[in-house]
Amino acid sequence: MSILTISREYGSGGREVGHGVAERLNYDYIDKEQILLEMRAHGKQWEKWAQGLDEHAPTIWERFDWSFRGFGALLRSIILEHAVRDDVVIMGRGGHIVLADIPYAYRIRVVAPLKSRLERIMIRESVDYDTARWLAEKTDKDRRQFFKAMFGSNWSSAKDYDRIFDSEKKPIETIVDSVCETLFNLQHKKNPDIEASLRVRSAAAKIEAGLLTYPFLFVNAIEVVVDGKDLILKGVVRDPNHRKRVEDVARRLAGDLPLTINLKYRGV
Pair 92, 32: CB distance under 8 Å: yes
Question: Taking all residues of the chain, what is their mean pLDDT, rounded to a whole number?
Answer: 88
- Report the topology of domain 3-189: Rossmann fold (3.40.50)
Instruction: List, in sequence order, every residue forming a beta bridge with 152; answer none if it has no partner.
Output: none
Amino acid at 218: F
Alpha carbons 40 and 159: distance in angstroms, whole number? 34
Instruction: Tell me: pLDDT of 107 over 80.
Output: yes
The pTM (predicted TM-score) of the whole model is 0.87
pLDDT at residue 232, as a whole number: 95
* CA–CA distances in Å: residue 182 to residues 60, 105, 108, 176, 253: 40, 10, 11, 10, 37
Q: CATH topology for 214-265? A: Histidine-containing Protein; Chain: A; (3.30.1340)
Nearest CA among 78, 90, 8, 86 for reference residue 50: 78
Closest by alpha carbon to 158, among 88, 90, 107, 99?
107
**Spatial CB neighbours of 191, under 8 Å, sequence gap ≥ 6:** none
Q: Indicate whether 64 pLDDT > 70.
A: no
Average pLDDT over residues 16-22: 97
Q: Is the pLDDT of residue 54 over 60?
A: no
Are 21 and 175 in contact by the 8 Å Cβ rule? The answer is: no
The stretch 67-94 carries a mean pLDDT of 91
Count other Cβ atoms within 10 Å, centred on residue 73: 22
- List the chain domain ranges: 3-189, 214-265
Residue 60, pLDDT score: 43
Identify the three-state secondary structure at position 67.
helix
Distances (CA, A) of 192 to 33, 173, 197, 199, 240: 31, 33, 9, 10, 40
Q: Which residues contact 130 (CB under 8 A, 6 or more apart)?
A: none
- Distance, in Å, from the CA atom of 268 to the CA atom of 262, rounded to the nearest integer, reads 13
For residue 225, the surrounding DSSP H or E stretch is strand 222-227
